[in-house]
Amino acid sequence: MRRGLVLISLSLITACTSAQGPTVTQPQAACDEATMQEHRYVSAVDPSGRHFTDQHGAPLLVFGDSPWAGMVRWSPQQAEVYFADREARGFNASIISMIGASANGGPDDDGRTYDGLLPFDGGEVTRWNEAYWERVDEYVRSACAHGNTLFLYPIDGWTVSTVFRNATREEAYRYGEMVATRYASFPNIVWMTGGDHFPSDLSGRNDSPRVHDELFEQVLSGIRSTGDVRPFSIQLGYPASISTDSPQWAPRVDFDFVYSYLPTYRGVLDAYRRDRLPALLAEANYEGENNLPGTPVTGDVVLRRQMAWALTSGSPGYFYGSDDWELLPGWEGRLDTPAVAQLGRLREFFESFDWWTLTPDESAEVLVGGRGEPVGADVEVGIMGSDYVTAARAGGLLVAYVPTARTVTVDVSKLATPPMARWVDAADAPAPPVQVAVDPSGTLATPGRNSAGGEDWLLLLNLQA
């Protein structure tokens, strides 16, 4: 993958996408170099295949939100409010659709914005309404200014059957060229497609017509034809999926988009073992929603479990989402929930050590008792239906997530001398840990309720060299 700074054009540039293709005007300034030096963006997949790197080649832990409908629901002022708030809360990424549809949170299936701007003239996807695209430019620029990488869907599982329903394959290809050309100088884009997508080769469920995959493929091919090598992946379907579940898409993706309403360690561990690709937990249960029938509305405990399970199972980050993905009136006052603060502190905790070296540890070499049993790949159970202890090693450190009150047993002979354990509050992870000596029996009990009244803790053990 390409590394280094993406060069910025500071003058208005006009470029053709192909000899016969439409002319595309690039934004006047994508993001100035001072801003780029100040912030970090998801730019490439590390050669290890396990995590992402920024524009300088340094590991970057993804901490994202999911404002799907932002491009068509925000005013320019609201976009700035959103990205400034997310920067202040530690978020560095956003999942967002480039074009709106009713099913992805937009006002209408013709792609219009809240104030009536249409993306295309006459519904033809290569005849762009410049006012719409100048609005998109402004939002991508605002994200850039606040260090936010957009996991951006030029076409998704909902617009493919609405705005793009009459597009030919050739038009989809040219549209991909146009998108890549216009946004070539922005450093803060990761390309996405799909979304609740069930391709014909997906085992067990294949609801999406073949033409959807063909249009997705053509848009991606158009993007790649410009020389654009920014990371790409596809989001498949619920209640759980991994991008490489689809044989058709497995060779095309640069990372696995792990999508799960089930205990999140299951999908992340499966993706981690399957491929030498980042296994990114990019959608799980959204705050305030109930995405798996029969399970409780998602609150703080579920959200902490989802993130902590994922990061101790090999995920190079976590995407939060809330019931405000449609950005309905009043969303500004609902941005900063207690869960957002707790997840931000979890991010701070993992960034305090070399998180990118974490390797999932499913063995019984150190944690010899009390872990519980992981759910099977074919078991459909909610987040609160599992209490499995996940663990990962980073050099001489073992980090375990213990979701419920219990006693675990460790092999004391594997610990550094003197054998000590640190219990970290999962709701306030940067707070001073509860430190305890490990006696010869190796038994360790969780230290009661955490600061949010929950029973979940992170366990840190220093191992022998």
DSSP string, 58-126: -EE-EEEE--TTHHHH--HHHHHHHHHHHHHTT--EEEEESS--GGGT-S-TT---TT---SBGGG-TT
Using 50 as the pLDDT threshold, list the residues of the chain that sit under it: 1-20
Give the whole-angstrom CA distance, residue 120 versus residue 126. 7
Position 36 scores a pLDDT of 77
Name the strand (E) or helix (H) holding 219.
Answer: helix 210-225
Position 360 scores a pLDDT of 98
H helix and E strand count, the chain: 9, 23
Position 23 scores a pLDDT of 65
Position 290 scores a pLDDT of 87
Position 22 scores a pLDDT of 58
Closest CA to 384 of 459, 268, 298: 298
pLDDT in tens, 216-243: 999 999 999 999 999 999 999 999 999 9
Q: Say what the pTM is.
A: 0.93
Position 29 scores a pLDDT of 67
Phi and psi torsions of 206, nearest 5°: -145, 70
Position 204 scores a pLDDT of 85
Q: How many CB atoms lie within 10 A of CB 31?
A: 22
Q: In what order do the strands lie in the sheet with 317-319?
A: 232-235, 189-194, 149-153, 93-97, 62-65, 317-319, 279-283, 256-260, 240-242
Domains recognised in the chain with CATH numbers? 14-357 (3.20.20.80), 359-462 (2.60.40)
